[in-house]
Structure 1
Amino acid sequence: MAAWLMLAKDASKRIGEGYDDNPETHYSWDDTVPNHSTVKVGDVIALWDAAELLGLSVIEDIMLGKATKRTPYCLKCDKADMAERKKKLPRFVCWNSDCKHESDTAGWKTKSVVTYRSRHEAGWIPARGTLTAPELRALCLKPRSQNSLRELHWSQFQQALEHGAVPLPLNIIDTAHQAIQGGHGTATIRVRKGQPAFRKQLLAIFGEVCAFTGPAPVQALEAAHLYSYAANGKHHKGGGLLLRRDLHRLFDLGLIAVNPKAKALHLLDELKSFPDYAKLHNATLAVNVTEEHVKWLTKHWTMHREAAAPNVIPQQSDATNHAPAKHGSCQVSV
């Protein structure tokens, strides 16, 4: 498994250059950065702030785009980029090994760049207080590297986290990696035509209700497909529910599944160590679902539970197979 240490620091040069970072959900870079195209879906992403490790996850998607970027160049050789120093003066030094000109001034040029943005919130594990900057640098393949994207020794990094002074279990990382490598992540994102209308339709049917937890702010609710949208590219009848954003990601990765007979949530053990998620295990759905929904939930269950562990068999709910919903109703077809 490949792993990357990436700098995400408040008020850093990266922010000034327009990079969009949120350690818990996404990270941005462009093709001017060393290793820009080497990072892949399924790799581990570890974010730090130059002082300590912030957290880690597995890259679910990498979205590509285009932008323009303003960069300094050497006025002496007129061809090489200049490195902008943070502390040492003069402010700029030429990258050209035959020039190495130092100056407080530089020329500026605007060029087109390819942008990259990871999505990695589903498997995010907070890790403050586990590893310091010197410890992180020592775990890189090139400890003296100054690059924003630095490759880590995965096995050594894993060992340091799981058996360090503040042990951090990484089971979620392994599970997310396996699910993504199995085809649940992709390096190119299909444009979901009709997605806003699909969400609007679900809101009209269910109201502002997460199907797993109940009422929630509309801003936190996403239209979750109960099947692989990327595989077929269309919205199926009865194929969607509203889910809170974090639960949507965990459902996509199979860390949460719905027992189609009991209509109850089933969490993998990796999630049960988190109290807010553990209390959801065996909880019944917060909305009524149709037979069409159950059909798609069964496909998801078969993929993430029966295929992975054949002994996990759906059990009939003790109360009823059609328990009344706590909130919302689904008498209208989706």
Structure 2
Amino acid sequence: MAAWLMLAKDGSKRIGEGYDDSPATHYSWDDTVPNHATVQVGDVIALWDSTELVGLSVIEDIATGQAEKKTPYCLKCGKADVAERKKKMPRFVCWNGECKHESDTAGWKDKTVVTYRSRHEAGWIPARGTLMAPELRALCVKPKSQNSLRELRWDDFKQALTHGSVPLPLRVIDTAHDTIQGGHGTATIRVRKGQPAFRKQLLGTFGNMCAFTGLAPVQALEAAHLYSYAANGKHHKGGGLLLRRDLHRLFDLGLIAVNPQTKTLHLHDDLKPYPDYAKLHDAPLAVAVTADHIKWLAQHWTMHRSASSQPTIPQQSSTPAAALA
């Protein structure tokens, strides 16, 4: 699996440079960036802010276009090989091997560039606090590279995330990649913050009840999709429950799943040392669910639990899965 570390600087700086991106959903670059055309659909995209890892996902789509961009050029040799330095002075240096002119000023001209914009929200996993800048640089194929798009050693990167000081399960990444590469209809199950209307609908159905723990302040409840809403843009019947914010996140990562046969919670071993969570193991759902809920919960179970722990699931009527498009 190919993986890329991409620099997601402060939003205002990115917009000022002509880029339109939001780390959890899309990222932009152009053909002035090294490796610009090497990134492919199905690759892992890992975004960092020069200090720490922000999050990662799998690229579902790359839209290309054209735009006008102001680019600097060397006032001495006239070539567009000049780079702006962030700390060292003079401010600009020409990378033309025959020039190498340094100056506090540069020429600027409009240039037509090819633009690229990834779409990657279906598999997005927030990852702040897991890997810091020195670790990320060391995991690149070329650790000393200064490029904003750097190739990662995927196996080592995955090992560092899943077995680091703050382990991060990556089942969503693996499934999203397989789905995109295979082009089939296997669902990628994720929990997402629902839109206000969807949350309002769930509050009307269940009241202020967390599906896992029961009565909770309405401010602490999030609308959880039981499938990849980002992938298909639809609110499926029985496809949502209200979950307390922390439980929403743990369900997203597969650390909590629902046995679709017994309608009880199943906790990953990583949560069992924590008493407040451990007591939820084998606890029944706190709300009544429909056959449609069970269908989506069964897909989540299949994704996040090994074959040996999966119960026999009653056959459901054929309904299209939420497939990555």
Instruction: State the TM-score bracket (shorter-chain normalisation).
Output: 0.5 to 0.7
Which SS does the other structure have where 1:310 is aligned? Answer: helix
Deviation (angstroms), 1:268: 3.0
- Equivalent residue for 1:309? 307
- Equivalent residue for 1:73? 72
Alignment of 1:126 onto 2:129: yes
CA distance in 2: counterparts of 1:159 and 1:236, whole angstroms = 35
* Structure 2 unaligned residues grouped into runs of 5+: 184-193, 314-325
Percentage of pairs with the same residue: 53
CA distance in 1: counterparts of 2:5 and 2:231, whole angstroms = 31
Which SS does the other structure have where 2:266 is aligned? Answer: strand
Which SS does the other structure have where 1:87 is aligned? Answer: coil
TM-score (normalizing by structure 2): 0.64
- Equivalent residue for 1:180? 176
- Equivalent residue for 1:35? 35
TM-score (normalizing by structure 1): 0.63
- Equivalent residue for 1:284? 284
- Equivalent residue for 1:49? 50
Q: Which amino acid aligns with 2:27?
A: S
Is the Cα–Cα contact under 8 Å of residues 212 and 286 in structure 1 kept in the other structure?
A: yes
CA distance in 1: counterparts of 2:35 and 2:235, whole angstroms = 37
CA distance in 1: counterparts of 2:86 and 2:262, whole angstroms = 59
Change in 2 beyond 3 A, CA 1:184/1:289 = farther
CA distance in 1: counterparts of 2:128 and 2:240, whole angstroms = 27
- Equivalent residue for 1:109? 110
Which SS does the other structure have where 2:125 is aligned? Answer: coil
Which SS does the other structure have where 1:126 is aligned? Answer: coil
Q: Which amino acid aligns with 2:169?
A: I
- Equivalent residue for 2:265? 265
Which SS does the other structure have where 1:172 is aligned? Answer: coil
Deviation (angstroms), 1:148: 1.7
CA distance in 2: counterparts of 1:235 and 1:210, whole angstroms = 19
- Equivalent residue for 1:242? 242
- Equivalent residue for 1:168? 165
* Structure 1 unaligned residues grouped into runs of 5+: 188-193, 316-334
Is the Cα–Cα contact under 8 Å of residues 210 and 216 in structure 1 kept in the other structure?
A: no
Deviation (angstroms), 1:147: 0.6
Which SS does the other structure have where 1:284 is aligned? Answer: coil
Is the Cα–Cα contact under 8 Å of residues 73 and 108 in structure 2 kept in the other structure?
A: yes
Deviation (angstroms), 1:247: 5.0
Q: CA RMSD in A?
A: 4.7
Is the Cα–Cα contact under 8 Å of residues 73 and 106 in structure 1 kept in the other structure?
A: yes
Deviation (angstroms), 1:126: 2.4
Is the Cα–Cα contact under 8 Å of residues 62 and 118 in structure 1 kept in the other structure?
A: yes
Query: Which of 282-291 and 267-276 deviates more?
Result: 267-276
CA distance in 2: counterparts of 1:313 and 1:203, whole angstroms = 30
CA distance in 2: counterparts of 1:272 and 1:185, whole angstroms = 35
CA distance in 2: counterparts of 1:276 and 1:80, whole angstroms = 60
Is the Cα–Cα contact under 8 Å of residues 210 and 244 in structure 1 kept in the other structure?
A: yes
CA distance in 2: counterparts of 1:78 and 1:202, whole angstroms = 62
CA distance in 1: counterparts of 2:197 and 2:2, whole angstroms = 38
Is the Cα–Cα contact under 8 Å of residues 58 and 176 in structure 1 kept in the other structure?
A: no
CA distance in 1: counterparts of 2:141 and 2:270, whole angstroms = 29
Q: Which amino acid aligns with 1:72?
A: T
Change in 2 beyond 3 A, CA 1:206/1:71 = farther
